[in-house]
């Protein structure tokens, strides 16, 4: 009887040591400093922006439009004319007839009104549109890279939690087997423990698979380094208080500088210039033609034949305006009004989407607070108290598994909320067109 009591005490001691050693090992692993350079979110974003070909494409298109603006503002090339006039076909002698002449001339056309300057301004606006589109693409890349990095981080954290629980469950299985050997537990407890370990192994395989999947997706933006670099064990949660404090008036003012709205503004400017350009079509387009005619031979009186000089001005008169100039001008004005409506609609859509995403962030943060203040502690306490009851033979193994699985699910749900919060912050930055670097961070605030 004494030996059996000693054996029971030894088993109980073994359970306690196993549990606390696992917890201490997990705590040590989480708090140990990183000695290697880690693939943090800022590095992933910087690499994604640097590697994106669309940003470079739009930048080159902006430069091309700038060059076109200069070339568009130039007069048309002058035209050089060379001709032989009134050459006799019987002898082809240049000095036979008095009207035979060799003519050289030059002509130059001048566009109507301020057409050249307006066309230059239109091209400059096109360059500005490309620049804003490049900025919009940059914001989009930053959002996608950040969200991709956070998603990988979540699955890495899930793997860490599942591996910790797997080690704990395997120790509990051994303890249950020991208790079964002395008649304190039944065989179905062992079978249940083996089943839960198998299910946990399945979830672990799926989590590792998702790590690879989301690393591949991130590698599309940030390069192959995303597949091989070490992720940090923690990150600083970004403080979203500034994003949450914007009033509608403040947000509307901020959105005036958003690349999407700026690109629409530049397009509106283009439409205004197109109206001005069509107004120039009511003015005449004119040109000048200067020529010099050389004549050979002598006059009847024996003197040399005189050369001829000519100058001519030609004017293109816009006389038939009803179905050409009037319609073109009317069409450009309608396009300008349509563009203005598009700008108003885009601003309203951006504001509405921002506030909808902001409400999602507020809900996520409320749930995070609930987990931090209540659920995490309660699930951990339940697991520990159930383990104590299991040691005292006042509960069965199934109840112990349920307690630990509930704690596991609570931890995973908390990690998911943290990641969803940061992904939502990235979305709000994209919608507002603001810079992550100018917003504060909660350093070391991942585990609270």
Q: Are residues 333 and 344 in the same domain?
A: yes
Are 108 and 288 in contact by the 8 Å Cβ rule? The answer is: yes
| Per-residue model confidence (pLDDT) at position 440 | 43
| Per-residue model confidence (pLDDT) at position 184 | 67
| Per-residue model confidence (pLDDT) at position 446 | 45
pLDDT band at residue 104 under the 50/70/90 scheme = very high
The highest-confidence range among 185-199, 237-251, 356-370, by mean pLDDT, is: 356-370
Q: Are residues 349 and 366 in the same domain?
A: yes
Higher pLDDT, 173 or 202: 202
| Per-residue model confidence (pLDDT) at position 320 | 77
Task: Evaluate whether residue 153 is within a structural domain.
Answer: yes
Task: Evaluate whether residue 416 is within a structural domain.
Answer: yes
Higher pLDDT, 59 or 320: 59
Taking CB atoms within 8 Å and a gap of at least 24, the contacts of 165-170 are 165/200, 165/404, 165/408, 166/197, 166/200, 166/201, 166/204, 167/22, 168/18, 168/19, 168/22, 168/404, 169/193, 169/196, 169/197, 169/200, 169/401, 169/404, 170/197
Mean pLDDT for 338-347 is 95
pLDDT band at residue 436 under the 50/70/90 scheme = low
Q: Are residues 339 and 233 in the same domain?
A: yes
Q: What range defines the domain where residue 96 resides?
A: 76-110+284-317
Task: Evaluate whether residue 137 is within a structural domain.
Answer: yes
| Per-residue model confidence (pLDDT) at position 376 | 95
| Per-residue model confidence (pLDDT) at position 37 | 59
| Per-residue model confidence (pLDDT) at position 86 | 87
Task: Evaluate whether residue 448 is within a structural domain.
Answer: no
Task: Evaluate whether residue 187 is within a structural domain.
Answer: yes
Q: Are residues 59 and 116 in the same domain?
A: yes
Within 8 A by CB and 6+ apart from 13, the residues are: none
Our CA angle for 340, 346, 350, nearest 5°, is 150
Higher pLDDT, 438 or 245: 245
Looking at the predicted structure, is the pLDDT value of residue 378 above 50?
yes
Q: Are residues 259 and 189 in the same domain?
A: yes
Q: Are residues 335 and 385 in the same domain?
A: yes
Looking at the predicted structure, is the pLDDT value of residue 368 above 70?
yes
| Per-residue model confidence (pLDDT) at position 437 | 52
- The DSSP call for residue 304 is B
Average pLDDT of the chain, as a whole number: 85
pLDDT band at residue 411 under the 50/70/90 scheme = very high
pLDDT band at residue 150 under the 50/70/90 scheme = very high
Number of domain units in the chain: 2
Are 390 and 11 in contact by the 8 Å Cβ rule? The answer is: no
Q: Give percent above pLDDT 90 in the chain.
A: 53
Mean pLDDT for 276-299 is 89
Region of 223 please: left (phi>0), alpha (psi -120 to 50) or beta: left
Mean pLDDT for 158-184 is 82
Looking at the predicted structure, is the pLDDT value of residue 443 above 50?
no
Q: Are residues 221 and 106 in the same domain?
A: no
Q: Are residues 311 and 335 in the same domain?
A: no
Mean pLDDT for 229-249 is 87
Task: Evaluate whether residue 447 is within a structural domain.
Answer: no
At 263-284, the pLDDT tens digits run: 999 999 999 999 999 999 888 8
Please state which of the ranges 50-54, 145-149, 294-298 shows the lowest mean pLDDT. Answer: 294-298
Q: Are residues 150 and 241 in the same domain?
A: yes
The SS3 call for residue 107 is: strand
Mean pLDDT for 59-87 is 91
317, 340, 367: which is the final residue of a domain?
317
CATH code of 259's domain? 1.20.1600.10
Q: Are residues 294 and 278 in the same domain?
A: no
Q: What is the pTM of this model?
A: 0.80
Task: Evaluate whether residue 148 is within a structural domain.
Answer: yes
| Per-residue model confidence (pLDDT) at position 27 | 41
Q: Taking each helix axis from N to C terminus, what angle separates 115-181 and 259-280, rounded to the nearest 10 degrees? A: 160
């Amino acid at each position: 009887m004494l030996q059996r009591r000693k054996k029971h005490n030894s088993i109980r001691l073994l359970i306690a040591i196993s549990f606390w050693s696992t917890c201490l090992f997990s705590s040590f692993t989480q708090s140990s400093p990183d000695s290697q350079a880690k693939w943090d979110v800022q590095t992933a974003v910087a690499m994604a922006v640097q590697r994106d070909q669309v940003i470079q494409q739009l930048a080159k298109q902006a430069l091309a439009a700038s060059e076109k603006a200069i070339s568009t503002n130039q007069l048309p090339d002058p035209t050089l004319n060379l001709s032989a006039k009134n050459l006799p076909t019987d002898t082809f002698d240049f000095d036979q007839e008095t009207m035979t002449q060799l003519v050289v001339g030059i002509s130059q056309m001048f566009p109507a009104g301020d057409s050249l300057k307006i066309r230059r301004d239109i091209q400059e606006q096109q360059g500005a549109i490309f620049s804003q589109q490049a900025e919009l693409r940059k914001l989009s890349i930053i959002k996608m890279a950040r969200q991709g990095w956070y998603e990988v981080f979540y699955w890495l954290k899930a793997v860490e939690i599942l591996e910790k629980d797997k080690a704990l469950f395997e120790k509990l299985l051994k303890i249950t087997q020991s208790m079964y050997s002395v008649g304190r537990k039944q065989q179905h407890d062992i079978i249940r423990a083996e089943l839960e370990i198998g299910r946990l192994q399945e979830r672990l395989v799926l989590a590792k698979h998702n790590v690879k999947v989301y690393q591949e997706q991130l590698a599309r933006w940030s390069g192959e380094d995303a597949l091989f670099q070490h992720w940090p064990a923690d990150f600083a949660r970004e403080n979203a208080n500034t994003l949450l404090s914007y009033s509608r008036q403040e947000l509307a003012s901020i959105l005036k500088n958003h690349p999407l709205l700026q690109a629409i503004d530049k397009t509106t400017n283009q439409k205004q210039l197109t109206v001005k350009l069509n107004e120039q079509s009511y003015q005449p387009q004119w040109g000048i033609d200067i020529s010099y005619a050389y004549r050979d031979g002598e006059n009847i009186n024996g003197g040399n034949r005189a050369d001829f000089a000519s100058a001519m001005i030609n004017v293109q008169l816009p006389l038939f305006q009803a179905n050409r100039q009037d319609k073109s001008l009317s069409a450009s004005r309608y396009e300008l009004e349509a563009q203005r409506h598009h700008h108003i609609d885009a601003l309203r859509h951006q504001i509405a989407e921002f506030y909808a995403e902001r409400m999602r962030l507020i809900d996520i943060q409320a749930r995070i607070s609930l987990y931090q203040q209540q659920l995490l502690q309660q699930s951990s306490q339940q697991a520990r108290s159930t383990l104590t009851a299991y040691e005292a033979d006042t509960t069965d193994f199934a109840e112990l598994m349920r307690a630990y699985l509930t704690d596991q699910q609570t931890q995973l749900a908390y990690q998911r909320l943290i990641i969803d919060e940061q992904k939502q912050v990235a979305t709000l930055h994209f919608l507002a067109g603001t810079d992550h670097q100018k917003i504060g961070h909660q350093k070391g605030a991942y585990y609270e």
